[in-house]
Amino acid sequence: MDEEAVLQDEDLEGSWTLLSSLASCLMVFGGALPYVPQYQEIQKSSNSEGFSTRVCLVLLIANILRIFFWIGKQFELTLLLQSVVMIITMFAMLHLCCTVQNTNRVSTKQHRLSDLDFRYFWKWSAFEDYLLFCFGFTVLCAVITLLLLDSAVFVETLGSLAVMFEAMLGLPQLLQNFQNRSTKGMSVKMVLLWTAGDVFKTTYFVMNESPTQFWVCGSVQILIDVAILLQVLFFSQDTRAKLG
């Protein structure tokens, strides 16, 4: 009986380890999945106007900050890898948007980072400008982190800033939809996957006793996701009413 109990315990432990590994893998790559249908939508329509590139700005800043937070307070490696994957994904989205916009551009006027025109901040014509901005931001964060790494207050503030930006992930899309009075060009599948992913990761944070900042961030994201889905319903009804 004792041997059977030991074997059962080992089986349960093995099953739990497998599930934990699958959950970690999903955490690393799951955040990038919602952008696949949006990427395909932009490619298919050759139009990126329905997608807010400021979503990329928010996620790039959030994940760069999270990497430096990890240096100061080494939490799960899974979350560090997730940040790296998300940064690569956001650059892929920006590259596609720049390519499509430049192809459709009627005017020959180019907006560059070097113009230092705040009206066109994050609306640059060249993908290289986005890379340059992120490189400069990363260097700035690296210098400040190097100087203040021994300060627990600074490290916690860094973590809070990272999750605060991440919590605002859907806000640019929410505002753009409101401004356009339409969700045309935005992938509803992307938002549904956002919602499913945010529910999953918030549960993951709670179960793995991650820093409080993470599950608070997840909860805020879920609320914004729901607000965007309500926009989809509202604007689609509004459009039908106008056509009727």
The 3-state DSSP class for residue 48 equals: coil
* 46 alpha carbon, distance to own chain's centre: 23
Domain ranges of the chain: 28-150, 169-243
Tell me the whole-structure pTM to 2 decimals.
0.80
- Summarised one tens digit per residue, pLDDT across range 14-57 is 666 777 778 778 878 888 988 999 999 999 999 888 889 999 99
- Name the least confident of 35-49, 54-68, 158-172: 158-172
DSSP letter for each residue of 119-167 = GGTT--S-HHHHHHHHHHHHHHHHHHHHHHTT-HHHHHHHHHHHHHHHH
Q: Report, at the CATH architecture level, how domain 169-243 is classified.
A: Up-down Bundle (1.20)
Handedness of CA 179, 182, 184, 186 (dihedral sign): positive
**CA–CA gap between residue 204 and residue 221 (Å, rounded):** 14
Distance CA 222, CA 195 (A): 6
Of the two residues 241 and 8, the one the predictor is more confident about is 8
Question: What is the reported pLDDT for 244?
Answer: 40
> How many other CB atoms are found less than 10 A from the CB of residue 86?
23
